[in-house]
Structure 1
């Protein structure tokens, strides 16, 4: 289960090199990334070492506090941001090279730009905006048009946790009712957030609102609703397993988690999900933003996981998401 930085990098490079060497995606096993964002240029675009080993404490007396708590460790290779204006084209090139289809979340207009650039690769997703100060009727209409007329397939990313709101709060129930009515899966942020500094950068965020069991009342009201728990409810593994055991329409994605926490912890969390019997409901994702190389890197983590069988790796990288999204089945 112990996986060192260099071995993950080697596997990621081998995966990418295999696709490039064959000069076709036809013989490269398909991958579905269920958690991407329609980003362009991002202010936080700096070189980054994934899976850093610790989060550092901060002291408000020391002056302005950094919005991220990762330690500034060195690694090889680093993940580098795309040059200005090239992020979308570079990510789409990676998706083509690695034979990836991705669920891309964002505003309708932003997602449509991605879809227009690579219609065969992009599965469009959008969601309602913040609860406070919003116009529910307008948002509900926007969603209905997106899902019935504009071809959108997933309602997400739903970021209620950043407002300190439970997913079972009745103020947002009408959106979930629409998703159930239209048979649209929903993707809800639950768990990890703030990168060790939510108190500095995201004062509305509440870790307690990431408790997977907060979904129970919502699921009871909408028994046909398909739910993607983003970030797999990390780190609340026991409650996540309880919810999965009780609700067969719930899946998890490992996006964000897969690169933003120590690798040993990431693998231990995924292994718990699989060992508990839920290997058919774990879906690969990146939370793709800023770094085009993140996709190959994170695919390498799954490919190099010695606690997963080849069949389990294919389930996580493709088959589970294809089933959840009702796409064609992979091999």
Structure 2
């Protein structure tokens, strides 16, 4: 990947369908999410379509699915297949894996395989969707393994559009995505790079505090148009967190075009913009940027 040639590096892109006609979520959850985000574009592009989308924009993207098989009773897309296909688009795609924490030792073993045999750069977790509390000691072996592998753990934080507007939110519990649950994980695994995804509303101040306090914790700015960012997040991104915040879109529910257009109008220092759009992510991912 020629990082120097890229205009931006998007660290938060979902693969929602595969080449076999399978989807990452059932139809009710996909529809609820699309309605929440008012997504007018194709909600379920496959990996090849995602690669073409980013290549046309001279951008790169971190791509992943979420394995919530146990909690949802819906079979996940294959992280192995995503990694193999991403390798064919290595000029623009960076694969992350996903394992189901509720599968215990099997998740730990699969995490190692995904890194050592499939070359993933990290793992995506969605505590609300997967139905687990990250600070539960039962999951420490998984964090130990990912830390020892030297790759990244990216956690959804805050509100989610998945299940939004449905009775009981389809049973999905927002409290599992409180970023304070990641403070123990970061403290107990100081060499584990953690990215807290999204502005973490309604817990944005907690996310800011953790990213400020823990050198191994970062924030991606996905899932929200920049024009809706909380003022304190913009202020910190401009100052003490200028090296800790990363561009993420949440494609396909929020396009990089829309995100970047609104980011252009945000009150950000000019010297901070390239850090957020590419350089910080390249550093966290271990890539070379200019």
In structure 2, stretches of 5+ residues that fail to align are 26-30, 66-77
Equivalent pair of 1:70/1:195 in contact (CA under 8 Å): no
Kindly tell me: are residues 281 and 197 of structure 1, through their superposed partners in 2, closer, same or farther at Cα, counting changes over 3 Å? same
In structure 1, stretches of 5+ residues that fail to align are 1-24, 45-65
**Which of the two has higher C-alpha Rg?**
1
The reply on whether 1:115 has 2:48 as its aligned counterpart is no
Q: TM-score, normalised by structure 2?
A: 0.80
Partner of 1:80: 41
Kindly tell me: are residues 184 and 195 of structure 1, through their superposed partners in 2, closer, same or farther at Cα, counting changes over 3 Å? closer
Kindly tell me: are residues 324 and 43 of structure 1, through their superposed partners in 2, closer, same or farther at Cα, counting changes over 3 Å? closer
Equivalent pair of 2:41/2:252 in contact (CA under 8 Å): no
Deviation of the 1:299 alpha carbon: 1.9
Partner of 2:201: 234
Partner of 1:58: none
The reply on whether 1:210 has 2:168 as its aligned counterpart is no
Partner of 2:56: 97
Q: Separation in 2 of the partners of 1:27 and 1:184?
A: 22
Q: Separation in 2 of the partners of 1:169 and 1:100?
A: 37
Partner of 2:120: 152
Partner of 2:275: 315
Q: Separation in 2 of the partners of 1:72 and 1:226?
A: 29
Deviation of the 1:126 alpha carbon: 0.8
Equivalent pair of 2:83/2:118 in contact (CA under 8 Å): no
Partner of 2:95: 124
Kindly tell me: are residues 28 and 144 of structure 1, through their superposed partners in 2, closer, same or farther at Cα, counting changes over 3 Å? closer
Q: Separation in 1 of the partners of 2:10 and 2:3?
A: 18
Partner of 1:273: 236
Task: Choose between structure 1 and 2 for higher RCO, CA contacts under 8 A separated by at least 6 residues.
Answer: 1
Q: Matched residue of 2:196: which SS?
A: strand
Counterparts of 1:14-33 in structure 2 under 5 Å?
29-33=6-10
Q: Separation in 2 of the partners of 1:325 and 1:255?
A: 17
RMSD between superposed Cα atoms in Å:
3.2
Partner of 1:298: 259
Equivalent pair of 1:38/1:114 in contact (CA under 8 Å): no
Partner of 1:37: 14
Deviation of the 1:315 alpha carbon: 0.9
Kindly tell me: are residues 138 and 221 of structure 1, through their superposed partners in 2, closer, same or farther at Cα, counting changes over 3 Å? same
The one-character-per-residue Cα deviations of 1:39-85 (angstroms, maximum 9, x if unpaired) are 237699xxxxxxxxxxxxxxxxxxxxx83596898xxxx84227x8x
Q: Matched residue of 1:36: which SS?
A: strand
Q: Separation in 2 of the partners of 1:196 and 1:272?
A: 31
What is the number of residues matched between the two proteins?
270
Q: Separation in 2 of the partners of 1:309 and 1:221?
A: 34
Kindly tell me: are residues 204 and 279 of structure 1, through their superposed partners in 2, closer, same or farther at Cα, counting changes over 3 Å? farther
Partner of 2:161: 194
Q: Matched residue of 2:243: which SS?
A: helix
Deviation of the 1:252 alpha carbon: 0.6
Equivalent pair of 1:98/1:296 in contact (CA under 8 Å): no
Deviation of the 1:234 alpha carbon: 2.4
Kindly tell me: are residues 289 and 101 of structure 1, through their superposed partners in 2, closer, same or farther at Cα, counting changes over 3 Å? same
Q: TM-score, normalised by structure 1?
A: 0.71
